[in-house]
Amino acid sequence: MWHEFAWWPTVTVLGVATFTDLRTRRIPNWLVLPFLAGGFAVSGWLNGWHGLAQSLEGAALALAIYGVLFFLGGMGAGDVKLCIAIGAWIGPSQLFLALVITGMVGGVMALVWAAFGGFLKELFTGASNLVFSWKGSGGVLDPETSLSNPSGAGCLTRRPSPLER
């Protein structure tokens, strides 16, 4: 199967994208767009129309998943374009594995960032408050809250019970 071949360029581009994103807070188009085009070209070249269809399905699935997160304010457009390019290289069947790996690596990077920044305790306190307050209080998110600013004032508000209205 050609997916084993596709992981090497993907890991290489991810390394460069991570480096540039951490330094400049941007994932450059000069990296993502040729990678996207290469994913379609290699898939079509190695597997014909079926390979091209797999690339299109992977890119569409990535757009559907990461597009929602982009519109919720959880990530930038460069992240979405990079994920679409990854979907074009590895197809829809392995995209979920890539998303799980990305989430795990991102979680480790967030923990390291919080530890070096000196706010690891606040990170865990905020996460536990969000999870347990949401479950126990019938909380609803404030309309002003987005994933890019989850710690904003009024992030989680308690929904009044029918008796309190």
pLDDT at residue 144, as a whole number? 52
| C-alpha span between 120 and 107 (Å, rounded) | 12
pTM of the model: 0.69
Question: Quick check: 73 and 148 in contact, CB under 8 A?
Answer: yes
pLDDT at residue 153, as a whole number? 46
Q: Work out the average pLDDT over 12-28.
A: 89
Give residue-wise pLDDT tens across range 97-148.
888 888 888 888 888 888 888 888 888 887 787 777 655 545 555 555 555 5
| C-alpha span between 13 and 160 (Å, rounded) | 49
